[in-house]
């Protein structure tokens, strides 16, 4: 069997662990990760069943059990900067084969939550993942704050047509969006910089080596295509390698498609919002001007919204089904993200229906208020909920690919 952590710590058992002086050990790591939803993995004896059955396990034969070993040994830096953390798609296959009920799939999901919380300097991600009551209060308070903030500047409710931006000023939404996006960008940048520094240390490369020198452009483009094009947007390994486990499911219920539709829908709505503002900026159409349903930006928003609501509904349904089987699969932050995505999508559709009704209903204004408040909260919490993996996963895979190529070139 391939020895675990042979290059970092030479051990056959956790008790016999002897760490090199450069490795910082955290004795509380295992218990801390448990708070993020992991089962008790202390009984894992590296039998390798999970490795043998994992459809994404590669040639070295240590994925995913190496991650559990890191946690047992307290090797926090190695765990949160590892590529394997972001290679797992949580298909759950490995957990079924574990003789000690260590639930390796649940462990990997918990370790990702733990990594995101470790990179977050505000500790909000940790609170949302580990303290459900306080997290609920924060989530409700934020939604109430944004709703009241918008409502404080409300204008007229027209009876003849649904004039949404007469009710909530478009400029107020725009400026709030800019402030929120700036905060999100700052929080995400700090977290990502911290992760990238950890990866560089782990891989033993310097930034100027991977981002400079001969061939840097080609290297970077290849890594970008692999991380963003093939993995994040194309979901190739999820689609192909994890497909075996999903073969029994019809296409419309396959996990990779549900996940992809939610992601593509979210990105499509984001793009439609930016395009709408862009068209207003160049004077083609003022924001909020009535347009037919087939107007390209409206059509993009409708299709993307449908994809997102479909994906989020099935993700919620699947989690509810799995909740009967194991309690370690979902944390509060996972539910919060799904709830925010679902409410944003459904209220968006309700507004669209209201806009095209022959007699515009006044409830359209109130649904619009809820939609704006929840959508702003969703964006604000992006770096602190499970949605943060949409940033961390491609960046981690990009830098690991880049560092790997550079190391191979210099050998």
Give residues in contact with ligand SF4 (CB under 6 A): 44-50, 54, 56, 64-65, 68, 88-94, 97-100, 102, 104-105, 108
Say if CB 343 and CB 349 are below 8 A apart: no
Q: Which is nearer to ligand SF4, 31 or 289 (CB)?
A: 31
Q: Which is nearer to ligand SF4, 56 or 372 (CB)?
A: 56
Cβ of residue 23: shortest distance to ligand SF4, in angstroms? 22
Say if CB 300 and CB 272 are below 8 A apart: yes
Q: Which is nearer to ligand SF4, 88 or 173 (CB)?
A: 88
Cβ of residue 68: shortest distance to ligand SF4, in angstroms? 6
Q: Which is nearer to ligand SF4, 56 or 223 (CB)?
A: 56
Cβ of residue 95: shortest distance to ligand SF4, in angstroms? 7
Distance (Å, rounded) from C-alpha 78 to C-alpha 73? 10
Cβ of residue 294: shortest distance to ligand SF4, in angstroms? 41
Cβ of residue 235: shortest distance to ligand SF4, in angstroms? 13
Cβ of residue 192: shortest distance to ligand SF4, in angstroms? 23
Cβ of residue 40: shortest distance to ligand SF4, in angstroms? 11
* Residue 268: partners with Cβ closer than 8 Å, 6 or more residues away: 300, 301, 303, 304, 305, 307, 308
* Residue 235: partners with Cβ closer than 8 Å, 6 or more residues away: 256, 259, 260
Cβ of residue 260: shortest distance to ligand SF4, in angstroms? 16
Cβ of residue 404: shortest distance to ligand SF4, in angstroms? 20
Say if CB 402 and CB 167 are below 8 A apart: no
Cβ of residue 240: shortest distance to ligand SF4, in angstroms? 12
Q: Which is nearer to ligand SF4, 98 or 340 (CB)?
A: 98
Q: Which is nearer to ligand SF4, 244 or 409 (CB)?
A: 244
Distance (Å, rounded) from C-alpha 277 to C-alpha 350? 21
């Amino acid at each position: 069997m391939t020895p675990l952590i042979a290059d970092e710590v030479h051990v056959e058992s956790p008790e016999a662990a002897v760490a090199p002086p450069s490795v910082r050990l955290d004795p509380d790591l295992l218990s801390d990760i448990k708070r993020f939803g992991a089962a008790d993995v202390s009984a894992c004896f590296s039998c390798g069943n999970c490795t043998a059955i994992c459809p994404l396990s590669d040639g070295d034969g240590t994925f995913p059990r190496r991650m559990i070993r890191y946690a047992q040994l307290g090797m926090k830096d190695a765990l949160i900067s590892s590529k394997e953390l972001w290679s797992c798609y949580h298909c759950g296959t490995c957990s079924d084969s574990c003789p000690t009920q260590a639930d390796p799939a649940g462990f990997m999901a918990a370790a990702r939550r733990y990594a995101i919380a470790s990179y977050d300097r505000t500790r909000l991600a940790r609170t949302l993942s580990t303290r459900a009551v306080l997290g609920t209060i924060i989530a409700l308070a934020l939604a109430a704050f944004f709703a009241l903030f918008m409502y404080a500047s409300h204008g007229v409710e027209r009876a003849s047509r649904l004039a949404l931006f007469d009710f909530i000023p478009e400029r107020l939404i725009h400026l709030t969006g800019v402030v929120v996006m700036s905060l999100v960008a700052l929080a995400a940048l700090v977290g990502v910089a911290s992760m990238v520094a950890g990866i560089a240390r782990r891989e033993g490369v310097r930034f100027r080596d991977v981002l400079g020198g001969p061939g840097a452009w080609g290297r970077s483009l290849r890594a970008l295509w692999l991380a963003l094009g093939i993995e994040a947007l194309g979901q190739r390994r999820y689609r192909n390698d994890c497909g075996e486990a999903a073969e029994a499911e019809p296409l419309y219920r396959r996990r990779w498609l549900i996940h992809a539709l939610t992601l593509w829908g979210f990105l499509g709505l984001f793009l439609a919002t930016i395009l709408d503002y862009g068209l207003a900026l160049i004077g083609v159409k003022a924001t909020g001007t009535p347009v037919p349903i087939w107007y390209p930006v409206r059509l993009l928003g409708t299709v993307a919204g449908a994809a997102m609501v479909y994906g989020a509904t099935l993700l919620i349904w699947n989690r509810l089904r799995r909740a009967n089987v194991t309690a370690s699969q979902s944390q509060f932050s996972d539910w919060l993200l799904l709830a925010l995505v679902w409410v944003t999508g459904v209220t968006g559709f309700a507004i669209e229906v209201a806009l095209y009704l022959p007699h515009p209903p006044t409830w359209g204004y109130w649904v619009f208020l809820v939609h704006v408040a929840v959508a702003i909260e969703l964006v604000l919490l992006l770096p602190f909920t499970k949605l943060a993996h949409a940033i961390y996963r491609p960046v981690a895979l990009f830098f690991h690919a880049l560092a790997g190529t550079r190391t191979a070139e210099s050998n």
